[in-house]
Structure 1
Amino acid sequence: MNKPKLWTKSFISISLSNFFLFLTFYVLLVTLPIYAIQEFDSNASEAGLMTTVFLISAIISRPLAGQWLEKAGHRKVLLASLIIFAGASLLYFFPKTIIGFLAIRLLHGIGFGMATTAVGAIVADLIPISRRGEGMGYFIMSTNMAMVLGPFIGLTAMQQWGAKSLFIVSVVVAIGALITGLSVHVKETEQADHPVVHSAFSFKNLIEVSAIPIAIVGCFLAIVYSALLSFVSVFATEIHLSEVASLFFVVYAIVLLISRPFTGKWFDQYGPNVIVFPSIVLFAIGMFLLSQSSGAVTFLVSAGMIGLGWGTLFPTFQTIAIQDAAPRKRGLATATFLSIYDIGIALGSFVVGLAAAKMNYSTLYFLCSFYVLFGIVLYYFLHTRKQASSKEHQRSAELNNLHS
């Protein structure tokens, strides 16, 4: 039997658009705090606001975007958000004060939050149901590749050619996201078949309840991932491995590329539990190895283990969030999952930063390895047990129908 086609023109285009979105995000993530300190003579806390303001506006805009997807249609929201995102990228050349810069970060975050929500909803509709685990895995790889390339491109541009070149790069990449987004064709059949009733504004309309449990698990583990994003290069310097720090996420990405064809297919064939439980263990082992690193080999092996563990968990969690929602609620489910997940990233940077002030990074990552293992308990109670109970209830209902 032939498999339904996955690598369509629209799937490739939406994956590229997602790649360019996150590439812009990571190019600026690692460079704007440095720019704020050098250009505006900001202190560390003011420089940190460059990321905080962006993420807060993205988190707030996502539930609204999820609702707009149902009302206006996927393509309109996608294009509007990509225009806002590209337009905000052009504005970085103009502000002369830190306040002006933060205002642009606020606008940029709104575009990013809307765009990533629309992209996630569209790709969920483009991927055949029987290949959703595999397809989401490949799609999330576009984010992972941006995470590897973004910091390298951003720091290189800033160091070699200055801040203006950094902003030129971000504009070009953001326009790339818009161009590839324009070539995505979306069938808006869900809106036609299920007309939306325009009800009064309420909190329930902004959140997809079915996505909350798995989003909480993702948020819980994202705190540790945030500790990696923010401090792994600092830790590498602390243990005299600064020369291989840049290779950490390269190894992470290589392991992802190798493992992705298998893990996505296993999800589709055997369900999420076969993927999630081992991946949490691998993530914890990777964090433990990182905490014990004193040489390049252990440091890079830990990167591979974390790539196999967390790199597999994130697309799996997002796929679960989408599968548990009704078809017309996929946009809202994507928004709910990403918003709660981003809270974990934002909290992680702050909380882990406070913890790092009280202990060295080796101890911090050692404790993180046990924290990650607790994710098994959280996942079991919030998803596995609930899913088993739901199936049992469904079975009982079917048996009652047969006997009646």
Structure 2
Amino acid sequence: MDGHANGYANGRVKSSPIFTSGFVRLFACNLFLVVIYFLLMTTMALHAATLYGVDSALAGLTASVFLVGGIAGRVVCVRLECRFSLRQIGLAFLALQTVAVALYFMEFVGISFLLAVRLLHGVAFGVANTVVPALAIDGLPAGRLGEGTGYFMLSNTLGIGIGPLMSVLIVVGIDYSVLFSICLVLSALSLVLLRTYREPAAAKGRPIASIRARKAPIVDSSTVKFSFFMFLIAFAYSSINAFVESYADELGLGLFAPFVFLVYAAVLLLIRPVTGKLMDRYGEDVILYPSIASMGAGLILVAFARDPLSLLACGVFMATGFGTCMSVGQAAAVKISTSSSTSLTVSTFFILCDAGCGIGPFVLGFLVSGCGYEAMYVACALIAFATTIYYRLIR
């Protein structure tokens, strides 16, 4: 049993501080990463279609190739950890991300070049977004893993709330060159923050020795079953990310769709610290079962939404559902893992989450075409409820 699990075994929540200077640096670094992700993910398809006159399918590849690059980056991170420390890997790929963002200014080259840059950026993001959370989790007091992970995941929450809104304001009110400039500054700041971070002495070299002994596995086999649970949750949630705006437009509620994500972020800011403490005290099952129920209820609600209040309430249910599953699930994966490499566990967790978010819209799109939005959201609610059975079986 690793150090994190030992913190649970003694049944006490230790009083060691969470908000060290290193934790704050990593929090800000991850926040900037997530803001960059959403600034570009929500605008690049429109940018490609407008600038190069390509159809929606080709423009949509700007998102797909980024996600493919992100998954590849998480695998690359695990391989590189055989030879380098997490901090060294993070610095190298944050520098690569900064280069990739700078290349967005070369709009005159063409759509093929843009897709190549998106792929490169995806790889850099995938590595950095594995390294930074792993470093933060490694530095947490063992008995406050759930609470500390919950606080750290607020950086994702803030990014989800800030990024899409900023992108709309910048692109509509100004232009893409300003958008790219902001991303470039944020990427450079992320690099500086990690450069000034000092990895705890106890963490140096520990994962490297372990992975060498195991001949560098690509995934953490001890958490694959649990991470597949998150694949199913992410698959169902992708219906919100991909289709809630177009569904709202169909209902005549398009004006309110962006505020679903603001409600989602605001609710998570309130509940994340509480859910983390509850997990540390009572275990993850106390949180995850109600969260699954909340997510299923939220998907049913959006399926039959006919007014702004119902649509916005979906953001509340998704926050207490999917948002809570993400933070508690990540902490639980680290807790149950038998690997000494936190980055391997985090990589496995996010590979399957990313796969769910990436595959979901493609599969669910056929369901929308054949049966409509309502049927698709009901189907996703049933998937969410069914994960309760799967989770029970693997526990």
TM-score by length of 1: 0.90
**Cα shift readout 1:134-158 (whole Å, capped 9, x = no counterpart):** 1111111111211121111112211
Partner of 1:24: 36
Q: What does 1:173-188 correspond to in 2, within 5 Å?
A: 173-188=186-201
Provide the rounded CA distance (Å) in 1 between the counterparts of 2:105 and 2:204: 40
Is 1:147 matched with 2:160?
A: yes
Provide the rounded CA distance (Å) in 2 between the counterparts of 1:150 and 1:106: 20
From 323, 328, 333, give the equivalent of 2:345.
Answer: 333
**How high is the sequence identity, in percent, across the aligned residues?**
28
Is 1:111 matched with 2:130?
A: no
What is the CA-CA distance between 1:261 and the residue it aligns to? Answer: 2.0
Letter in 2 for 1:114: V
CA spacing shift, 1:201–1:85, aligned 2, 3 Å? farther
Letter in 2 for 1:16: A
What is the CA-CA distance between 1:23 and the residue it aligns to? Answer: 0.6
Partner of 1:67: 79
Is 1:258 matched with 2:267?
A: no
- Whether the 8 Å CA contact 1:66–1:118 is kept in 2: the answer is no
- Whether the 8 Å CA contact 1:284–1:373 is kept in 2: the answer is yes
- Whether the 8 Å CA contact 1:66–1:333 is kept in 2: the answer is no
CA spacing shift, 1:327–1:16, aligned 2, 3 Å? farther
What is the CA-CA distance between 1:360 and the residue it aligns to? Answer: 2.1
What is the CA-CA distance between 1:188 and the residue it aligns to? Answer: 4.4
- Whether the 8 Å CA contact 2:211–2:217 is kept in 1: the answer is no
Q: What does 1:271-286 correspond to in 2, within 5 Å?
A: 271-286=283-298
Provide the rounded CA distance (Å) in 2 between the counterparts of 1:346 and 1:198: 28
Partner of 1:314: 326
What is the CA-CA distance between 1:195 and the residue it aligns to? Answer: 6.4
Partner of 2:174: 161
- Whether the 8 Å CA contact 2:85–2:208 is kept in 1: the answer is no
TM-score by length of 2: 0.92
Letter in 2 for 1:275: I
Provide the rounded CA distance (Å) in 2 between the counterparts of 1:137 and 1:307: 13
**Cα shift readout 1:302-331 (whole Å, capped 9, x = no counterpart):** 210111111100111111221222463211
Provide the rounded CA distance (Å) in 2 between the counterparts of 1:184 and 1:354: 46
**Cα shift readout 1:225-269 (whole Å, capped 9, x = no counterpart):** 111111111111111111211210111111111111211101000
Is 1:138 matched with 2:151?
A: yes
Structure possessing the higher radius of gyration over alpha carbons:
1
Partner of 2:222: 210
- Whether the 8 Å CA contact 2:210–2:341 is kept in 1: the answer is no
Aligned residues: 382
CA spacing shift, 1:193–1:264, aligned 2, 3 Å? closer
CA spacing shift, 1:379–1:36, aligned 2, 3 Å? same
Partner of 1:235: 247
From 29, 53, 60, give the equivalent of 1:41.
Answer: 53
**Cα shift readout 1:357-377 (whole Å, capped 9, x = no counterpart):** 122222211221111100101
Letter in 1 for 2:277: K
* Structure 2 residue matching 1:189: 3-state secondary structure: helix
CA spacing shift, 1:194–1:342, aligned 2, 3 Å? closer
What is the CA-CA distance between 1:119 and the residue it aligns to? Answer: 0.9
Provide the rounded CA distance (Å) in 2 between the counterparts of 1:205 and 1:8: 32
- Whether the 8 Å CA contact 1:20–1:173 is kept in 2: the answer is yes
**Cα shift readout 1:137-183 (whole Å, capped 9, x = no counterpart):** 11111112111211111122111112212211221221222222223
**Cα shift readout 1:44-90 (whole Å, capped 9, x = no counterpart):** 11111101111111101212202323531111011111111111111
Unaligned runs of 5+ in 1: 385-404
What is the CA-CA distance between 1:339 and the residue it aligns to? Answer: 1.0
From 354, 362, 372, give the equivalent of 1:350.
Answer: 362
* Structure 2 residue matching 1:127: 3-state secondary structure: coil
Provide the rounded CA distance (Å) in 2 between the counterparts of 1:198 and 1:75: 16
- Whether the 8 Å CA contact 2:138–2:203 is kept in 1: the answer is no
Is 1:126 matched with 2:130?
A: no
Provide the rounded CA distance (Å) in 1 between the counterparts of 2:240 and 2:205: 44
From 290, 296, 316, give the equivalent of 2:302.
Answer: 290
Provide the rounded CA distance (Å) in 2 between the counterparts of 1:194 and 1:357: 47
CA spacing shift, 1:112–1:126, aligned 2, 3 Å? same
